[in-house]
Amino acid sequence: MSNDNTKLAATALVASGLGAALSYLMFQRQQNKSRTRSASMTFHTPSDAPATIGHSRTSFIFQDPEYDINSGDRSNSVSDNATILMPHSHEERMRRRIAARMAVEDENSQPRQSVTVRVPASSANCGPGYDCIGLAVDLWTEVTVSRADEFEITAEGDGAEEMPKDDSNYIVTGVKAAYETANKPMPPLKYHVVSRIPYARGLGSSSAAIVAGIIAGLVLAGHRLPVWGSESLLQIAASIEGHPDNVAPVIYGGFQVGIHNGTRWVTERIPSPPGMQCVMFIPDFIGKTSAARAVLKDTIPRADAAFNIGRVAFLIHALCLGNLDNLKWGVQDRMHQPQRAEVLYKHLFPMIKAAEESGACCAFLSGAGPTVMAFTSGASGDIFTQREKERTDYSVAKAMMEVAQTYGVKGRIVVTQASQEGARVVKVDPPFSSEFITFRDNV
CA of 305: how far to CAs of 66, 310, 339, 367, 370, in Å? 33, 9, 14, 19, 24
Q: Give the mean pLDDT of 335-348.
A: 95
Q: How confident is the model at residue 290 (pLDDT cuts 50, 70, 90)?
A: confident
pTM, rounded to two decimals: 0.79
Q: What percent of the chain has pLDDT over 70?
A: 77
Q: Give the mean pLDDT of 133-141.
A: 97
CA of 163: how far to CAs of 147, 174, 192, 226, 413, in Å? 21, 15, 12, 32, 22
Render the burial of 239-266: b for 16+ CB within 10 Å, e for the rest.
Answer: ebbebbbbbbbbbbbbbbbbeeeeebbb
Nearest alpha-carbon partner for 164 in 127, 213, 115: 213
**Which tens digits make up the pLDDT trace of 49-102?**
333 333 444 443 445 554 444 444 444 444 444 566 666 677 677 766 665 544
CA distance 339 to 142: 34
CA of 156: how far to CAs of 143, 184, 309, in Å? 11, 30, 41
Q: Give the mean pLDDT of 284-307.
A: 92
CA distance 359 to 361: 6
What pLDDT shows up at residue 434? 87
3-class DSSP assignment, residue 347 = coil
CA distance 238 to 249: 12
Lowest mean pLDDT among 108-112, 368-372, 381-385: 108-112
Q: How confident is the model at residue 389 (pLDDT cuts 50, 70, 90)?
A: confident
Q: Give the mean pLDDT of 27-56.
A: 43
Q: How confident is the model at residue 230 (pLDDT cuts 50, 70, 90)?
A: confident
Ramachandran quadrant class, 223 (left: phi over 0; alpha: psi -120 to 50; beta: rest): beta
Q: Is the pLDDT of residue 48 over 50?
A: no
Q: How confident is the model at residue 3 (pLDDT cuts 50, 70, 90)?
A: low
Paired with 192 in beta bridges are: 144, 154
What pLDDT shows up at residue 41? 36
